[in-house]
Amino acid sequence: MFKQIFLGFIMCLMGAQLTASNNSTIKLPDPQKEGGMALMEALDNRKTQRSFSSKDLSNQTLSNLLWAAFGINRPESGKRTAPSAVDWQEIDIYVAAKSGTYFYNAEKNALEKILDQDIRNQTGTQGFVDDAPINLVFVADYSRMGSDMSDQARKYYSWCDTGYISQNVYLFCASEGLATVVRAMVDREKLRKTMQLKDNQKIVMAQTVGYPD
């Protein structure tokens, strides 16, 4: 027991990598909400990159990234860092990594494993999706949206809301010296089956994040 506690402590000190964990749930460290690049500088540096190193992201960087993307910035109301129509918060973020596929639980600031397998190569048609440490998959849950809405309207709103989130990712990556590209070229039906999503869950886009190669 003491050995396990000691090893866990050492891993925390080293900034344990997501790919090094076999846990079904990974509690992320609190996001760092101070510092970083000034907004105007981040906008000036924002760009799309398609060459990625295989170097892993630390759990701290993942926590900061996911919080910036769509984390809770007003705990008293549960509201988020990106807007969503009618505050539906219908977009969920999944993280495809070498060690498996995870659901980002913003309320708990944790990654909950849904698959043990590495499905990065299914998150896009470009070769670089295999090289990058993570691919974010944005999934809209139509059941959280207005029941009297058409699927066309749900699709419109969910794509808009995903755009806000992906831009947050772009700005975070610009601030932190990371590379990213948001992608619509995804075999959504194949990926939906692999991720075992429900009929009301619709894959919108994916976004690759990692260190530039």
- The secondary structure of the chain as a DSSP string is -HHHHHHHHHHHHHT-BGGG---SEEEPPPP--S-S--HHHHHHH------B--PPPBHHHHHHHHHHHH-EEETTTTEESS--GGG---EEEEEEETTEEEEEETTTTEEEEEESS--GGGS-SSGGGGTSSEEEEEEEEGGGS-TTS-HHHHHHHHHHHHHHHHHHHHHHHHHHT-EEEEE----HHHHHHHHT--TTEEEEEEEEEE-B-
pLDDT at res. 147: 87
Query: Model confidence over 65-83: pLDDT tens digits?
Result: 999 999 999 999 999 999 9
Domain boundaries, the chain: 17-210
The answer on pLDDT for 6 being more than 80 is: no
User: pLDDT above 90 covers what percent of the chain?
Assistant: 88
Look at residue 13 and tell me whether its pLDDT is greater than 60.
no
pTM above 0.85, yes or no: yes
Task: State pLDDT tens for residues 163-208.
Answer: 999 999 999 999 999 999 999 999 999 999 999 999 999 999 999 9
* Residue reference for tokens 């959280």: 144
Q: Which superfamily does CATH assign the domain made up of 17-210 to?
A: NADH Oxidase (3.40.109.10)
**pLDDT over 80 at 212, yes or no:** yes
